[in-house]
Amino acid sequence: MDEPVEIGRRVQRMRTQLGWTQRKLAEPSYTPAYVSTLESGKVRPSEAALRFLADRLGTSYEELATGRPAHVATELRLALTDAQQTLAAGAADEAAAHYRRVLAEAEGLGLADERAEALLGLGDCALESGELAAAIAHFEAAEQLLADEPLPRRARPIRGRAVAHLLAGELRYACYLLESTIDELGTSGLADPEALVLLHASIIGPYIDMGAHARAAHAAEVALSLAPHVGDPALVAGMHRQVARTFLAEGRVAAADASLAKAQAIYGQLQLRTDLAHCHWMRGYVQAQNGDLAAAEGELRTAREMLAAGRAALYTAQVDVELADVLRRLGRHEEAAELLSALLELGESHGAVHAGGAHRLLGLMAEERGEPESAEEHYVRALALLERSGATGDLADLCRLLGDLLRRTGRTEAALDAYRTGLGHRAAPGTTTLGPAPAAPAFPPRPAPR
């Protein structure tokens, strides 16, 4: 609600436009003196008084209290859901343009929630296009706007920042952001299922890159166990969005706004599909480690299909590396090489880990074909890529492979240098140890269907 002086001027302007006296506006519930005092800004009107006056003046309570027509916020919510759908379809540049327009309008109208949603959308667009610094700035701005909101409301910008830092190669900081938020949700009693699925699924990637495979598997199991507490996001959001359109057409602004708020929240969680795909990916990884390659291939292909449908290219690359390794171990080298060839073109700014993984596998396949020179070339390229990423577990393993290859070809001193490099990465301070793992949330089991 605006200050009394601004409200008073608004009441006076609307009254004079109608050609009414203060008495005509006041009757039958109030006195002309009360209207005079209100118009002069000497009294803060109650909600009941403003609703009475709004009805008499033929306007809405919101417009009289804030100066904003009731339909403005609703139209901005509709624009946000349109932008979110555009982004989900893979048109990041077009979606960013929509979000910027909403942000400018929301700032002009002082609508904090809509500003925060627009900033979150811009952050997601920047992630999609690989503009990591811009993504972090947008997510930080959204988090500041939501500083007074409950922690589950801030889970999305925190998760966004973590993903941006992960793609920039800052693995430990990404883990810190996600783990500390998960722990805070648990200790505060705000164990929101959607927020926890979002956070647990997002932490799988950095865990794997850091070699914390047990934690990654645990995070995947937690996320999958919580998934039944979350509805089908695309279906429910689409329903709310269409219902909102019908309400708006009927002039039922409040009902439309409520439906759009629900749709907006769910579209904001459309990353959930990506996150659940990560869980399938992690299951496939664990099955591959256990030697169940057929089951691993099935899980990884499921993850890949889910990610490719959302055009999540960077995440699809993660799965492609694991799937190619499974195909290699199954003896299907041509299929593996076809998957890996596309990964070699990823940029070093955010694709170094995946391109490095592709070179590592191509090196292994070259060794298996008896081509040591080609294998060494791939290992050296992988090493150059991974040294920039902070993926210490991968670096140590790669140095071991390179050292073994050099030793077998009679270059003992070079092999020792490679082994020492690997040991140095493995022993680098603060790169291989994490604090206590986040506690698993406690949720009552869902009742069995009757």
393, 414, 416, 432, 434 from 420: Cα distances, Å: 14, 10, 6, 17, 23
C-alpha to C-alpha distance for 363 and 361, rounded to whole angstroms: 5
Mean pLDDT of the chain: 80
pLDDT (tens digit per residue) in 383-419: 888 776 656 667 788 888 999 999 998 999 999 998 8
pLDDT-based confidence at residue 431 (cuts at 50, 70, 90):
very low
167, 207, 218, 347, 429 from 437: Cα distances, Å: 22, 11, 10, 32, 19
Give the range among 159-163, 215-219, 297-301, 359-363 with minimum mean pLDDT.
215-219
Q: Could you give the angle at the alpha carbon of 312 between the alpha carbons of 440 and 157, nearest 5°?
A: 50
132, 209, 342 from 314: Cα distances, Å: 13, 14, 12
- On whether the pTM is more than 0.85, the answer is no
Quote the pLDDT of residue 145: 93
Give the range among 233-242, 266-275, 372-381, 409-418 with minimum mean pLDDT.
233-242
Q: What is the mean pLDDT of residues 60-86?
A: 81
Q: What is the mean pLDDT of residues 323-336?
A: 92
* Number of DSSP helices (H) and strands (E) in the chain, helices first: 24, 0
Better-predicted residue by pLDDT, 245 or 126: 126
Quote the pLDDT of residue 118: 96
Residue 156 burial class via C-beta count within 10 angstroms: exposed 0-12, middle 13-18, buried 19 and up:
buried
pLDDT (tens digit per residue) in 161-179: 998 888 777 788 888 999 9
pLDDT at 266 over 70: no
Instruction: Give me the long-range contacts of 295-298 (CB less than 8 A, separation at least 24).
Output: 296/326, 297/323, 297/326, 297/327, 297/330
pLDDT-based confidence at residue 247 (cuts at 50, 70, 90):
low
Quote the pLDDT of residue 432: 32
Quote the pLDDT of residue 364: 92
Quote the pLDDT of residue 280: 79
Instruction: Give me the long-range contacts of 85-92 (CB less than 8 A, separation at least 24).
Output: 85/241, 85/267, 87/121, 87/124, 87/125, 87/128, 88/267, 88/270, 88/310, 89/311, 90/128, 90/310, 90/311, 92/125, 92/128, 92/129
Quote the pLDDT of residue 405: 92
Amino acid at 339: L
Give the range among 35-49, 230-244, 293-307, 345-359 with minimum mean pLDDT.
230-244
